[in-house]
Amino acid sequence: MEWLNYHHLLYFWMVAREGTVAKAGEKLSLAQPTISGQLRALEAAFDQKLFVRSGRHLVLTETGRLVYSYAD
């Protein structure tokens, strides 16, 4: 991916706020695969993991926290 768009950051930001892709999907009225695909693209662009799984929730990594502060 050569560039990022608003949707990459919006979906990332919402997942970070909500803690799960499912809850973010409900808030954004989008299917989970759509959000997951955008998150994978964003992680590929940074070549870094932005989330780690903790039980059923996603928790920001150090890089994820940095990206979240930018997106917020």
H helices of the chain, in order, are 6-18, 21-28, 32-46, 62-71
Q: Which two tokens stand for residue 18?
A: 């909500």
User: 2 pLDDT band (50/70/90 cuts)?
Assistant: low
Handedness of CA 62, 34, 70, 57 (dihedral sign): negative
Separation of alpha carbons 14 and 1, rounded Å: 21
57 phi/psi in degrees, rounded to 5: -105, 160
- Note the pLDDT tens digit of each residue in 17-70: 999 999 999 999 999 999 999 999 899 988 999 999 999 999 999 999 999 998
pTM over 0.95: no
Name the DSSP letter for residue 54.
E
